[in-house]
Chains A and B, each alone.
Chain A
Amino acid sequence: MKNFSRSTRTLTAAAAAVVLTVSLGACGNGGGDSAAAGDGNLRFSWWGSDPRHVANQEIIDMFEAENEGITIEGEYSDFGGYWDKLATTTAGRDAPDVITMDEKYLQEYAGRGALADLSTLEGLDTSKFDDAALNLGRYEDGLYGLTTGQNAYVIMANQDLFAQAGMELPDDTTWTWDDYYRISAELTEKLGGDIVGTEYGAQDVDLRIWLRQQGENLYNEDEPGTVGYSPETLTAWFEHLLEVRDGGGPSAARYTEELSGSFEAGGFATNRAAMGWYWSNQLSAVESASGSEVTMLRPPSESGNAAENGMYYKASMYWSVSSQSDDQEAAAEFVNYLANNPEAAKKMLVDRGVPANPDMAAAIAPELNETDQTVVDFLEEISPDMAAAPLPSPVGAGGVQDTVKRYVSEALFDNLTPAEATEKLTAEIEGMISAG
């Protein structure tokens, strides 16, 4: 009996210890967050591929060395996973302090109070940015994102594959969609095997370019909550994609497979497509992934007049500060460093677009390698043909990108006719942006 009670006592103590540990652990977690207020511990999130991760870590290290008392933890993932993670952490009141933003989500987050108004933060100097650049990050009366730089949506052409096919690069100042179809079909035929002439340009941005060529827009900027295009133009876009498919483009199955894969596994990045659609700031990334010589081309137009090809300068990304950040001052200082420090700019070069801050653009000029210089020159070269950029996507539009991709695959698999896809896609987009 004595033994029993002793062991009981031991057990009681052990169980109590477990309970205490558990509850203390809980306290620790709860307390940790509030204790962190203003202590200079920041988290900085971005999406992208390996070279960007390396560059960002170097910037973080430099910043930490110069700013004692502030530590920064980097968080990164691929573009798709990034937004899921940001939504979850924001909902859990645990958003990163400094957030890399995209125009698709800027209004979504700003409109729902998740971002801090940068114009109210001391320590962030935006005086070097012109109004056009700042306006891209405004929502209502606040500045919720600071443009990192600008880029343009282009066709990347793999010179090595063109050479292999014995073909010349087209003249992108005059080429038409018909030229595009003809050249890609010819490439597919001459290259043979697994290699196709072109990847589909089948994202929401491709659609935007297509619509802009007809003087239309994805979102109606005068009447929020509605789309800015006519059904015929969208139907024509789906038909255009089918034309690419039937002219030796990738199979529908290959399209969906690469869609869900990583950037580095894409057809163009693995030298299995001679042309692909990318943002100009991705030139260096596709070159390093494919190991081939890549040239940027303007998208084709219907008329063969480059001024009507629908291109625009897009704010590649934005720096934003979370409204949940418990050290917005330090966050603003870091954004200031990213936006105004030449050393940081030299690490980023044109990976986030050509810097919108002219001083930074000048600072990086001597540092640019041939590829980066090409990007800068290209953006300058096309500037006479550029039209005004669309406004950032409306609240609720975050899901539009995936919805467009889904209807593209439905159309490519012939599950829906272009007219059916048009009707359903439009209804879904309107549902999303009107509810937002």
Chain B
Amino acid sequence: MSALNEMSGLKKEPRGKKRKLTAAERKEELVSYLFLAPWLVGLAIITIGPMAASLYLSFTDYNLLQPPEWTGLDNYLRMFEDTRLQNSLGVTFLYVFVSVPLQLIAALALALILDRGMRGLSFYRSVYYLPSLLGGSVAIAVLWRQIFGTSGLINQLLALVGIEGMGWIADPSTALGTLMVLNVWTFGAPMVIFLAGLRQIPTMYYEAAAMDGASKVRQFTTITAPLLTPIIFFNLVLQIIGAFQSFTQAFVVSGGTGGPADSTMFFTLYLYQQGFGNFNMGYASAMAWLLLLIIAAFTFINFIASKWWVFYDD
């Protein structure tokens, strides 16, 4: 009882009255909301509104041109029988699980090299960051088509050393690989974050380790790696989320088909085809929610697992 009384007692005191805001402070609060307003408006109109709409549409049969019809769970049940959807999930998982680790390894390796304080560091940093800015663009995807095409740059280089190339983007066994290479190539963004993380590790640890005669490798495994785990974790979460949502590259490289033979049919691309090609927007909306759940699950698993390997130095 007393506990309850205490709680109700607490409740009786309105929050605002805890401490009176001065006129200036209230004004400041108002200002902060005004500054947030464009973002809040954007969030409501561009994100939350469409999300709510797509949740509704995912329970309907909606062909874009006529009003949606409520069909309950039909769209979700249909996924269990849709082998193309299952194939597209397989393609997407393979892409995420191969290209994200490779990309992070490349990013970390480059960051370690750049961290040694070479001349012209900021120049190199910019150069390596550039692909991250360009990687998701249509122009680069078009370029990729050319580079890996049958008469593209890769095959011309191979021809110089007497190897007969192949149609990299046209062969089902290599097409997805070219997209993975494209993703790995955009290692610049995680690299810059790694670089910032490396700068935060106090040099005294390395000095002490060097005095004790620890090798560079030993210094990396016992100082750099553990202290960098929060950064690795951060990059991992971001890149996994990003990779699940990849669309542009596959769309442009395969000419919107997800081909050859569905080998680059990302989940997002299949969703797009269903929604805009086959007029199954209800089904596409349900797929979008499935993707959201998958990404949420992976992020959740990531956070749980992080307890075992991420080390916070504070």
Q: Are A83 and B277 in contact (CB under 8 A)?
A: yes
Find A19's partner among B37, B166, B170, B172 (CB 8 Å cutoff): B37
Q: Are A413 and B172 in contact (CB under 8 A)?
A: yes
Alpha-carbon distance A328/B281, docked complex (angstroms): 28
Find B167's partner among A1, A26, A254, A399 (CB 8 Å cutoff): A254
Q: Are B256 and A254 in contact (CB under 8 A)?
A: no
Alpha-carbon distance A415/B172, docked complex (angstroms): 10
Q: Are A432 and B278 in contact (CB under 8 A)?
A: yes
Find A80's partner among B169, B170, B255, B260 (CB 8 Å cutoff): B255
Q: Which of A8-16, A48-56, A118-126, A170-178 contacts B (4 or more CB under 8 A)?
A: A8-16
Contacts of A108-165 to chain B: CB distance below 8 A: 108-109, 112-114
Q: Is A251 an interface residue (CB 8 A)?
A: yes
Q: Is B127 an interface residue (CB 8 A)?
A: no
Contacts of A70-90 to chain B: CB distance below 8 A: 80-81, 83-84, 87-88, 90
Taking CB atoms, residues of chain B closer than 8 Å to A19 are 34, 37-38, 41
Q: Is A357 an interface residue (CB 8 A)?
A: no
Alpha-carbon distance A261/B150, docked complex (angstroms): 12
Q: Which of B59-67, B186-194, B216-224, B239-247 contacts A (4 or more CB under 8 A)?
A: B59-67
Alpha-carbon distance A415/B38, docked complex (angstroms): 52
Q: Is B88 an interface residue (CB 8 A)?
A: no
Instruction: Tally chain B residues at the interface, Cβ within 8 Å.
Output: 37
Taking CB atoms, residues of chain A closer than 8 Å to B273 are 399, 402
Q: Are B38 and A18 in contact (CB under 8 A)?
A: yes
Q: Is B115 an interface residue (CB 8 A)?
A: no
Alpha-carbon distance A257/B259, docked complex (angstroms): 9
Taking CB atoms, residues of chain B closer than 8 Å to A1 are 24
Q: Is B35 an interface residue (CB 8 A)?
A: yes
Q: Is A417 an interface residue (CB 8 A)?
A: no
Q: Are B277 and A409 in contact (CB under 8 A)?
A: no
Q: Are A260 and B28 in contact (CB under 8 A)?
A: no
Which residue of chain A lies nearest to B28 when distances are taken between CB atoms in the complex?
A8
Taking CB atoms, residues of chain A closer than 8 Å to B255 are 80, 259-261
Shortest CB-to-CB span from B287 to chain A, Å, is: 16
Q: Are A8 and B256 in contact (CB under 8 A)?
A: no
Taking CB atoms, residues of chain B closer than 8 Å to A253 are 150, 166-167, 170-171, 260
Central interface residue in A1, A11, A257, by most chain B CB within 10 Å: A257
Q: Is A23 an interface residue (CB 8 A)?
A: yes
Q: Is B31 an interface residue (CB 8 A)?
A: yes
Shortest CB-to-CB span from B70 to chain A, Å, is: 16
Shortest CB-to-CB span from A321 to chain B, Å, is: 15
Q: Are B150 and A257 in contact (CB under 8 A)?
A: yes
A378-422 interface mask toward B, CB cutoff 8 Å, 1 = contact, 0 = none?
000000000000000000101100100110011001010000000
Give chain A's interface secondary structure class. helix
Q: Are B38 and A402 in contact (CB under 8 A)?
A: no
Central interface residue in A15, A18, A259, A415, by most chain B CB within 10 Å: A15
Q: Is A214 an interface residue (CB 8 A)?
A: no
Find A257's partner among B35, B169, B262 (CB 8 Å cutoff): B169
Contacts of A236-261 to chain B: CB distance below 8 A: 251-257, 259-261
Q: Is A22 an interface residue (CB 8 A)?
A: yes
Contacts of A253-294 to chain B: CB distance below 8 A: 253-257, 259-261
Q: Are A399 and B278 in contact (CB under 8 A)?
A: yes
Q: Are A409 and B34 in contact (CB under 8 A)?
A: no
Taking CB atoms, residues of chain B closer than 8 Å to A35 are none
Q: Are B277 and A260 in contact (CB under 8 A)?
A: no
Taking CB atoms, residues of chain B closer than 8 Å to A5 are 24, 27
Contacts of A1-33 to chain B: CB distance below 8 A: 1, 4-5, 8, 11-12, 15-16, 18-19, 22-23, 26
9 A-B residue pairings within 8 Å (CB atoms): A15-B34, A81-B256, A84-B256, A90-B64, A252-B170, A256-B167, A260-B254, A402-B257, A410-B261
Q: Using CB atoms and an 8 Å cutoff, list the residues of chain B in contact with chain A.
A: 24, 27-28, 30-31, 34-35, 37-38, 41, 45, 63-66, 149-150, 166-167, 169-172, 254-257, 259-262, 273, 276-279, 281
Cβ-closest 10 pairs across A and B: A260-B255, A15-B34, A253-B167, A257-B170, A112-B65, A91-B64, A256-B260, A253-B170, A399-B278, A256-B170
Q: A8-B24, A15-B37, A112-B66 are in contact. List 4 more A-B contacts (CB 8 A).
A: A16-B34, A22-B37, A409-B259, A413-B172
Q: Using CB atoms and an 8 Å cutoff, list the residues of chain A in contact with chain B.
A: 1, 4-5, 8, 11-12, 15-16, 18-19, 22-23, 26, 80-81, 83-84, 87-88, 90-91, 108-109, 112-114, 251-257, 259-261, 396, 398-399, 402, 405-406, 409-410, 413, 415, 432
